A and B are shown apart, each in its own frame.
Chain A
Amino acid sequence: DAGVIQSPRHEVTEMGQEVTLRCKPISGHNSLFWYRQTMMRGLELLIYFNNNVPIDDSGMPEDRFSAKMPNASFSTLKIQPSEPRDSAVYFCASRAAGSTDTQYFGPGTRLTVL
C-alpha cells in the first residue's frame, strides 16, 4: 500500500493563478482531512470529510479556498485566485472509522505563490 498519495509534490505559481491540489486516501478509509502547515501557525485543519461529505469547513481561510470529494478515492483542494500568503505545505490525511484510529498523512504539497 502506497499510503496517502498527494500530487503535485511541489507547485510554484504566480499570484492570481488557480491552484489545484490532489489527494488519494488509503483504500477503505472513510475520513479525509486537509491541513495547512506554516512556520507561523503550525498545522491547521482546513476541512474534513466523512464518507465523502464535508463535515466541517470552518478552518478554510477564505472563499478563495474550496475542497471537494467526488468519490471515496479522490479529493481536491482548490485555491482561486492564489496569493503569496497561501504559500505553505498542504497535507492530506485519511483515517478509518473510529475516533481513536490513527490519521495517515500524505507526503504533502509544497506550494509557493510568487
Chain B
Amino acid sequence: AQRVTQPEKLLSVFKGAPVELKCNYSYSGSPELFWYVQYSRQRLQLLLRHISRESIKGFTADLNKGETSFHLKKPFAQEEDSAMYYCALSYTGGFKTIFGAGTRLFVKA
C-alpha cells in the first residue's frame, strides 16, 4: 500500500544550523513527490516538488529511489522557516495524494 512516513513529529534547530526533514515513501510505481508547508496562521501551500528540481527559500529535496526517500534540506535554517512541513505522494494519475503526518520545525534564535 502507498504510504508516506515522516519519522519526526518535531525538529528543533538553532538559527544558522543545517536542517533535514526526513520523508520516506512506499509506492511501487513512479512517484510524484511534494513538500508542502504551513506557516503559522497561513494556508497549507506547496513548497517544492521533485519534478521541478528547484530550490525554494533555500530548501532542496532530492528523490532517492533506491532509498525511497525525499528528504528536505536547507544548509542554514532561519527563524522564519519555523512551520509545519508535510511530505506528499501523488499517484493514480495524480488524482490521489497522501500526506505524511507532518514535522513541526522550530528554529531557535
Residues of A near any B CB (own CB < 8 A):
3, 31, 33, 35, 41-45, 48, 50, 55-56, 91, 93, 98-108
Contacts and interface: CB of A to CB of B under 8 A. Distances in A.
B43 interface: yes
Interface of B: 32, 34, 43-46, 49, 51, 86, 90, 92-102
B99 A42 contact: yes
B95 A42 contact: no
A50 B102 contact: no
A61 to B, nearest CB: 15
B100 A106 contact: no
Contacts of A35: 99
Given A50-B95, A99-B94, A103-B46, 19 more contacts: A3-B43, A35-B99, A42-B100, A42-B102, A43-B101, A45-B96, A45-B97, A45-B99, A48-B96, A55-B95, A91-B44, A99-B93, A99-B95, A100-B32, A100-B90, A102-B46, A103-B97, A105-B44, A106-B43
A43 B102 contact: yes
A56 to B, nearest CB: 6
Contacts of B99: 35, 42-45
A33 B96 CA distance: 9
A109 to B, nearest CB: 12
A20 to B, nearest CB: 21
Contact of A105 (B45, B92, B95): B45
Nearest to B98: A45
Contact of A100 (B43, B44, B51, B102): B51
A107 B46 CA distance: 14
A51 to B, nearest CB: 11
Nearest to A55: B95
Nearest to B46: A102
B94 A98 contact: yes
B43 A33 contact: no
A10 B34 CA distance: 28
